């Protein structure tokens, strides 16, 4: 039951990727993510350049005049390299601010009899985005230790960790629109295994360049379907059904 619902939800999400509303959210998320990473890289490089003296004395080398340029370029290349790994979590977090549009598109096509959902306010969306981004980056940085000590299982650790985080976040966002934050958490606990399984399905393509940038859109659509397809109690069904 759980496996079939997960793959049914995923298949329905993939079939709607050509929707113009999906493309709009995708372009906004990627554009803002690139702007944020480029801006942060430029700002950090400027900070290093302005805080490093033009001349410095180093043991053995003596007086040097190129330390400022070395650190500036080094910081820029380091952040550019890290951006490769940060692009997906940053894009996921930023795109999450616009996932109401994806969920509306899904429900408009597949669940047209539903009453209008309660859209997340900008303040709540921004708060959830910042929290999600912080947890996602912190968890993956800490997981580097596990990757080192358990190298043969690193890929499975990556899938399991990010599957848990993505499933938790996307299901909550899909459910909040219909039943509120408190009930969304209750349903998330009730369907924990299925949600984690669907999250792992979202996490598996994260290691595939370019494809991984579609995960925020696919995740939002998949978990919107999952919310509606999983068994719900009658009170909840009446809440969001016309």
The CA distance from 216 to 25, in Å, is 9
How many domains does the structure of the chain reveal? Answer: 1
pLDDT, mean over the chain? 77
Asked, for residue 205, whether it belongs to a domain, the answer is yes
The CA distance from 191 to 201, in Å, is 16
Do the beta carbons of residue 136 and residue 89 sit within 8 Å?
yes
Asked, for residue 132, whether it belongs to a domain, the answer is yes
The CA distance from 225 to 103, in Å, is 9
Do the beta carbons of residue 165 and residue 120 sit within 8 Å?
no
The CA distance from 24 to 217, in Å, is 10
Domain that holds residue 205: 2-33+86-240
pLDDT of residue 44: 67
Task: List helix spans (H) across the chain.
Answer: 2-15, 20-51, 67-95, 99-110, 122-149, 154-190, 192-203, 215-229, 234-240
Asked, for residue 54, whether it belongs to a domain, the answer is no
Enter the tokens of residue 59. Answer: 């043991």
The CA distance from 93 to 140, in Å, is 14
Tell me which long-range contacts 230-237 makes (C-beta under 8 A, separation of at least 24). Answer: 230/5, 230/187, 230/191, 230/194, 232/187, 236/179, 236/183, 236/187
Q: What is the pLDDT of residues 204-226, one digit of tens each?
A: 887 776 777 788 888 889 999 99
Q: What is the pLDDT of residues 93-140, one digit of tens each?
A: 666 677 788 899 999 999 998 888 887 777 777 787 778 777 877 887
Asked, for residue 44, whether it belongs to a domain, the answer is no
The CA distance from 31 to 91, in Å, is 9
Asked, for residue 72, whether it belongs to a domain, the answer is no
- Cα 119 from chain centroid (whole Å): 19
Q: What percent of the chain has pLDDT over 70?
A: 71
Enter the tokens of residue 114. Answer: 């539903």
Asked, for residue 154, whether it belongs to a domain, the answer is yes
Do the beta carbons of residue 129 and residue 96 sit within 8 Å?
yes
Distances (CA, A) of 96 to 29, 41, 90, 151, 199: 8, 23, 10, 31, 15
Asked, for residue 48, whether it belongs to a domain, the answer is no
Q: What is the pLDDT of residues 16-49, one digit of tens each?
A: 988 998 888 888 877 777 777 677 767 766 666 6
Asked, for residue 11, whether it belongs to a domain, the answer is yes
């Amino acid at each position: 039951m759980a496996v079939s619902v997960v793959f049914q939800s995923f298949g329905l999400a993939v079939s709607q990727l050509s929707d113009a509303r999906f493309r709009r959210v995708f372009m906004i998320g990627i554009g803002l993510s690139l702007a944020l990473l480029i801006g942060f890289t430029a700002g950090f490089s400027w900070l290093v350049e302005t805080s490093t003296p033009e001349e410095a004395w180093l043991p053995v080398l003596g007086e040097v005049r190129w330390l400022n340029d070395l650190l500036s370029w080094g910081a820029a290349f380091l952040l550019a390299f890290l951006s490769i790994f940060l692009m997906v979590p940053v894009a996921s977090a930023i795109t999450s601010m616009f996932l109401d549009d994806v969920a509306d598109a899904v429900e408009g096509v597949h669940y047209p009899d539903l009453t209008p959902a309660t859209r997340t306010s900008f303040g709540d969306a921004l708060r959830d985005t910042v929290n999600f981004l912080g947890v996602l980056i912190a968890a993956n940085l800490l997981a580097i230790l596990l990757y080192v000590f358990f190298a043969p299982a690193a890929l499975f650790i990556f899938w399991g960790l990010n599957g848990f985080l993505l499933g938790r976040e996307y299901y909550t966002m899909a459910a909040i629109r219909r039943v509120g934050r408190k009930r969304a958490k209750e349903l998330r606990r009730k369907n924990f295994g299925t949600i984690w399984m669907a999250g792992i399905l979202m996490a598996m393509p994260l290691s595939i360049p370019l494809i991984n940038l579609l995960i925020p859109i696919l995740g939002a659509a998949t978990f919107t379907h999952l919310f509606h397809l999983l068994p719900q109690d009658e009170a909840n069904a009446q809440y969001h059904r016309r």
